[in-house]
């Protein structure tokens, strides 16, 4: 984990598309991070909370707070996406060998990468207080659309990807027993 955190401070680490190598053990298989799914689910709540705060600030006429909450949203979201790419998906690929499952994991990852473009456009479009203030109805409509899409995505992640991740210790143990026996 320390290697991962220190990698965030390398040159170009501010770019979401900068690859970071996952932490490998002596056998060249990716380590398993036990609390990762729980941590990612807590981050889902933080991400959605930023959107709720944006909505509340806008509805109460405190437009100056919206850019700050959007910046928080961006920061938490992109940190979350890096963690998914560099830890979650690497651990899944390392411990799961079923081709169909791996294909669905890749599709799931690709779907989020496409959605990330929408999220980035949303943040860039609404980062200025005056834009939000002059087009409040449009902002709230788009915020609602983004929020609903994230709620759907997060529920889907919890039910599929995080569930798979939580099964890795059982899968790995079964695999090791089969290999030994």
Burial of 62 (0-12, 13-18, 19+ CB in 10 A): exposed
Structure tokens at 5: 């955190």
Instruction: Tell me the pLDDT tens digit for each residue of 2-47.
Output: 444 444 444 443 444 434 344 444 444 557 788 999 999 999 999 9
Question: What is the per-residue pLDDT for 19?
Answer: 40
Instruction: Tell me the pLDDT tens digit for each residue of 125-144.
Output: 999 999 999 999 999 999 99
Question: What is the per-residue pLDDT for 179?
Answer: 53
Supply the DSSP symbol for 83.
H
- Lowest-confidence segment of 56-65, 96-105, 112-121, 153-162 by average pLDDT: 96-105
In angstroms, the CA 20 to CA 40 distance is 18
Task: Tell me how crowded residue 52 is: count the other CB atoms within 10 A of its CB.
Answer: 12
From the list 179, 164, 137, 140, the residue with the least C-alpha distance to 37 is 164
Q: Residues 55-63: what's their mean pLDDT?
A: 97
Instruction: Tell me the pLDDT tens digit for each residue of 109-130.
Output: 999 999 999 999 999 999 999 9
As separate numbers, helices (DSSP H) first and strands (DSSP E) second, the chain gives 8, 0
Supply the DSSP symbol for 64.
G
Q: What is the pTM of this model?
A: 0.78
């Amino acid at each position: 984990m320390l290697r991962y955190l220190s990698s965030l401070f390398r040159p170009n680490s501010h770019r979401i598309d900068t690859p970071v190598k996952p932490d490998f053990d002596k056998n060249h298989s990716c380590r398993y991070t036990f609390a990762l799914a729980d941590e990612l689910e807590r981050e889902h709540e933080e991400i959605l909370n930023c959107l709720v705060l944006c909505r509340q600030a806008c509805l109460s006429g405190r437009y100056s707070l919206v850019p700050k909450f959007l910046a928080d949203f961006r920061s938490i979201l992109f940190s979350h996406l890096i963690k998914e790419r560099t830890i979650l998906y690497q651990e899944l690929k390392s411990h799961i060998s079923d081709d169909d499952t791996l294909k669905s994991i890749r599709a799931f990852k690709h779907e989020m990468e496409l959605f990330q473009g929408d999220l980035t456009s949303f943040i860039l479009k609404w980062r200025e207080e005056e834009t939000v203030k002059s087009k409040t109805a449009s902002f709230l409509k788009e915020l609602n659309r983004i929020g609903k899409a994230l709620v759907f995505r997060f529920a889907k992640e919890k039910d599929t990807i995080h569930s798979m991740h939580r099964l890795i210790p059982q899968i790995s143990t079964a695999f090791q027993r089969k290999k030994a026996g």
